[in-house]
Amino acid sequence: MIEPLLDNTHVESVQITMAEAFDVADRGQFYDRTGAIRDVVQNHMLQVLATVLADPPASGGHSERRNEKAKLVGALRPLTPKDTVRGQYEGYLDVAGVAAGSTTESFVAVRLAVDSPRWDGVHVAIRAGQCMPITATEVVVRFHRPAHDFFDLGTSAEANTLRFRIWPEAQIGLTLNGKKPGAGWVPEAVDLAFAQQAGSGMRPYDRLIGAALDGERWLFAQQQTVEAAWRIVDPVLGDVVPVQPYPKGSWGPEEADRLLPEGEVWHEPAG
């Protein structure tokens, strides 16, 4: 029902947030050599993005689905410094194993563009960070405002959105706008949760290890997809983009707001 609406005719923007409420803890030495871009963006978050934006396969089967995801990742333009904001939570330098004066990022936000007829012109932004208010991974699809404002709600009404939460629980929801019941023409957003359930109890890496032992490849990216993902992030690795401090328990440095279109704000997953 919804898949035909997922294109640039109907969609204005796509956001993905991967928030972690915890810090680096005892992984200081590993994390300081890695950073958020290498740790989660080039692999996990680009795969989530590809899962949402990829065209439906022409035929059934998991291998065809992997092919379509590979095409989507291959259509993403390489990042540039102006498309990227890096952050580091206050206190990161005090973690055991972290080098003195380290500029490794614990937060990153990027703006992406897809060179495909289906998604041309759609604003795509993803962010990931530690020491944020909650732990959640959520995808939000914002739809264009209707050409005819039937309820005369004006710009005060929020955009209609489709939301996928994929961690730690599964949830699919719609936020729809209309007129608040009663006199007057006051806009009201109504949140409709279509599916909500607790996680399976199996940790993601347990699932991947099990699939590897069984010889199931569909959970893993193709070689060409991995190479394309590194091509996308390579221009902003290292200290190409300065790192900005941000307080623990916040949504990252305010500089990330500049990556969004005018009038749009980052979606903040609710606890």
> If you search the block for the tokens 């410094």, which residue do you land on?
81
Strand order in the sheet with 136-143: 187-197, 170-179, 161-167, 136-143, 11-19, 123-129, 107-112, 84-89, 243-246
Q: What is the dihedral of CA 7, 8, 10, 11, to 10 degrees?
A: 90
Residues 6+ apart with CB under 8 A from 227: none
C-alpha distances (whole Å) from 259 to each of 19, 110, 125, 139, 265 are: 18, 7, 7, 17, 10
Instruction: Let me know if 44 is a catalytic residue.
Output: yes
CA atoms within 13 A on the CB side of 106: 32
Q: Rounded CA gap, 113 and 83, in Å? A: 10
What single string gives the DSSP state of each residue in 85-138?
EEEEETTGGGSTTPPTT----SEEEEEE-B-STTTTT-EEEEEEESS-SS-EEE
Given the residues 44, 123, 144, 267, select the one marked as catalytic. 44
Question: How many other C-beta atoms lie within 10 A of the C-beta of residue 63?
Answer: 12
Q: So which residues are the catalytic ones?
A: 44
